[in-house]
Chain A
Amino acid sequence: MKKLRTRKHRVVLNRSAGGDFGVTIFMLLLGVVMFLPMYYLVIQALKPLDELFYFPPRFYVMHPSFDNFSSLFNLLNTSWVPFSRYLFNTIFITVCGTFGHLVLSSLCAYALSRIPFPGHKFTFQVVQKSLMIGSEVSVLLLFVIISRMGILDTYWAIIVPELSKPLGLYLMKQFIDSNVSVEILESARLDGAGEFRTFWSIAMPMVKPAWLTLIIYSFQGLWNTGQNLYVYSEELKTLNFTINQVLNEGIVRSGASAASSVVLVIVPIIVFIVSQSRIIETMGSSGMKD
């Protein structure tokens, strides 16, 4: 009989040692390439001025300092709209948009998944098909609609289009399909719970992983809101936009721009680390079975 390979006392099937070695080397190289820009960004942010202009560029920092961060905040404070206002804008947009998206998509996903009203299949098909169409296609008429709604140049111009993003509804519906059993809902209904109650106290607690996933997707989109067609007042602009603008004024390579990127990047990464396992769980039902 053939000798079976084991990895940590577990039998490994269909894997040759040589293949494992090759794949690991390839992935290590790829991983380094993926990781390098992020690492370099942090290093640049910590470099004092003389090290930034050292030749050839170094992959490490001799005397780390937070000067770049303080100069970034000084720069932002010299603009006539205070820095705190930009921060508030970004947080306000992100929180409202994320919360609204979560509530609207969960309600709709629940109904599409568990209430057999005529048209529920068709409705979901339309949403699913719309995943194929990028936002670039609709951007022109969206502008017209937003201006007709009279919300141009308000927070809502950024928030409202995010509320009905199809991806969130799709993931939530798929997750409910495979994780919320019909029997439990039936028994709640028999006990006299109304549909909203069943939704809120029975179904929703069972789909917490999907909540987190919707939150991070919505959060990611809104937090990274930069230049936006629909908003032009300076006091409504977001952190991302402002930082990019300040940095484009001739000091692109100074350490402050690296510091700014670090500030913007760190928040979504922390949110992802915290919610990673739930997101993967949600993605488990993301598959498309016509």
Chain B
Amino acid sequence: MAKKEKEAVARGDKTRLQWTWHLMKQYKIGYVMIAPYMILFILMTVIPVLGSIFVSFTDYNLLQMPNWVGLDNYINLFLNDELFTTALKYTLIFAVAIGLGSYVLSFIVAWFVNELSPKVRAFVTLIFYAPSLVAGSIYVVFNYVFSGDSYGLINGWLLNWGLISDPILFFADTKFILPTIIVVSLWMSLGTAFLSFIAGFQGLDRSQIEAGAVDGITNRWQELWYITLPNLKPQLAFGAIMSITSSFGVGGIVTQLCQGLPTDYVGYTLNLHLGEYSGTRWEFGYGCAISMVLFFLMVGSNMLVQKLLSKVGKS
């Protein structure tokens, strides 16, 4: 209230518009400072996202001017494109398995790490975080671990123990593609959200836990629900965005591990479908329609989860 009143006094008899103009002139240096970043941000993020909405209603192919085709792209997508349905299915499976999985895993590990002494904590954090740090350069190791012959780590030992008679083709056998990709993705998924949780735990106020113990909290689960989670809400909200957004973008890892598109399109995602239409066929209008579906999935599930998180700690 006080701030408002002060502002009203400073404003005097100026109208709202005049006052805004006055502030804009007074703080014009602010616009100068944000300009370099914001120009690039608008060019590289805002225009591509908003532009995709428009292009998704056209038949743009990069060479000719786009023609308006109305809802054709979306109708084809949902009614005539079987691969799209497949891609949508696997995208959702990955979003739940990898997005939710990595979120929960990050939280549990961060919770545990917090109980360690500082030196051990730093080491354990490194062990868990390192895979996500080097995710782009580490696929090679899975050729050794999951290799489809007796020299692969897992096949070698399973054969040696006599548990299987033929090596498992982890990246070609349709039964194994999905679980293998999920395991590998989870392995490299303790990223930004994980670090944010660790920092959040470290910032917790010990005195609240002590007060809680006096008030009758007796075990770690009650402490988690009544004290820790409500206090970590900001980190939980941030971590959710990180986990959700990256889990909908799964695609590169599939082609890396399967060395191309997977057998029978098991694990084929929207991201890969997008690549097919833009990279090989130059159908940008259709591609943008796919990216719009991805856009709504990402934004929708983020909104939903933020809603859910705001209920944490309230009973």
Contact = CB atoms under 8 A, between A and B. Distances in A.
B118 to A, nearest CB: 9
Given A35-B127, A260-B140, A115 B29 contact: yes
29 contacts: A13-B223, A14-B212, A15-B219, A19-B220, A27-B112, A35-B127, A40-B141, A56-B156, A108-B36, A111-B33, A130-B45, A132-B299, A133-B45, A136-B274, A137-B52, A139-B48, A140-B52, A140-B288, A141-B48, A141-B55, A141-B288, A164-B41, A164-B44, A248-B259, A261-B141, A265-B137, A272-B126, A276-B122, A287-B235
Contact of B245 (A34, A133, A141, A276): A133
A2 B238 CA distance: 39
Contacts of A225: 136
Contacts of B55: 140-141
Interface in B69-127: 109, 112, 115, 117, 122, 124-127
A133 B27 CA distance: 31
A138 interface: yes
Interface in A248-284: 248, 252-253, 257-258, 260-261, 264-265, 268-269, 272-273, 276-277, 279-284
A130 B124 CA distance: 32
B125 A276 contact: yes
Using C-beta atoms within 8 Å of the partner chain, give the interface range for chain B: 35 or more
Using C-beta atoms within 8 Å of the partner chain, give the interface range for chain A: 35 or more
B160 A269 contact: no
Given A37-B187, A276-B122, 5 more contacts: A132-B245, A136-B249, A195-B29, A272-B129, A283-B192
B134 A265 contact: yes
B37 A169 contact: yes
Contact of B36 (A41, A104, A280): A104
Contact of B52 (A135, A138, A280): A138
Contacts of B278: 139-140, 143
Nearest to B50: A141
Contacts of A288: 234, 237-238, 241
Interface in B154-185: 156-157, 159-160
A160 B190 CA distance: 27
Interface string B16-50: 00001001100111110110111011011111110
